[in-house]
Amino acid sequence: MKKKILFAGESCFVQTTEFKGYDLFTGIRYNEHAGEIEALLDPQRFSFHHIPCHRIPARFPRTLEELREYDAVILSDVGADTFLLIPEMVRTGVRVPNLLKLIREYVAGGGGFAMIGGYMSFQGINARARFHGTAIEELLPVTLLPGDDRQEVPEGADLTCVPGSHPILEGLPAQWPYVLGYNKLTAKEGSQVLVSFEGDPLITAWTYGQGRAVAYAMDCAAHWAPAAMTQWDGYSLLWNNIAAWITGLC
């Protein structure tokens, strides 16, 4: 039976204004990168369900029973407030579930979880992602900085691993492509750092309760994840291994 993955985030609306002499005009476009991760995963093993950022308040499961329909949850480039500031609560004062605590309970009970890095992950730009001190930080194998945690590496961070030292690294070579940035994190005691750069953990895994969690501090899209990484012939294997580990296939 296929493992069901709920992937939330990795989308945005972009507004631009162009000035042409005396005149100007504004345009809006929509970007979405979740399909790039979906395309990497083996469709015979995984069923991929995406909720873009702006649909999370309406579509993300509100009960543990609904969340347990999935074998793993992955958050990517979407901040804590999107899960906490549910419109009906903000507008009318009605009580709603704390979705971050719901995810923590889900993982403790055996669910899988991963967070992918980016400008709106972990703490992110100007600490706007704001996961520090939340239930998500508790279940992650890393501790978050209190402020802006972005580490820009324009010269490129060349990555290495110890092949076969963890199921996520199975079949992967020691030498990896470079990335151009990541979220700076600190590995918790009891976690396993699979990939690091200058002492900073980039891929970290552990078990939380009966579940499993991975902190992937790099992005899955540009600019932190350049073509050198996303077109690497080991990239698909890496993400299939991550998906297999958090869903309990290995």
Q: Is the pLDDT of residue 168 over 90?
A: yes
- Asked if residue 177 lies in contact with residue 225, where contact means CB atoms within 8 angstroms, the answer is no
For the chain, give percent helix, strand, coil, nearest 5.
Answer: 25, 35, 40
Give alpha helix (H) positions in 51-108: 56-59, 64-67, 80-84, 87-92, 99-108
Place of tokens 């991929």: 48
Predicted pLDDT at 125: 98
75 contacts 82 by C-beta, under 8 angstroms: no
Per-residue pLDDT tens for 188-214?
999 999 999 999 999 999 999 999 999
**Rounded to an integer, what distance in angstroms lies between the CA atom of residue 33 and that of residue 187?**
27
Rounded to whole angstroms, the Cα distance separating 163 from 200 reads 19
φ and ψ of 223, to 5 deg: -95, -20
Look at residue 22 and tell me whether its pLDDT is greater than 90.
yes
pLDDT at 201: 98
pLDDT at 166 over 90: yes
C-alpha 136/C-alpha 100 separation (Å) is: 6
- Quick: pLDDT tens for 24-52: 999 999 999 999 999 999 999 999 999 99
Does pLDDT of 1 surpass 90? Answer: no
pLDDT tens digits for range 87-144: 999 999 999 999 999 999 999 999 999 999 999 999 999 999 999 999 999 999 999 9
Nearest to 32 by CA among 85, 99, 91, 78: 78
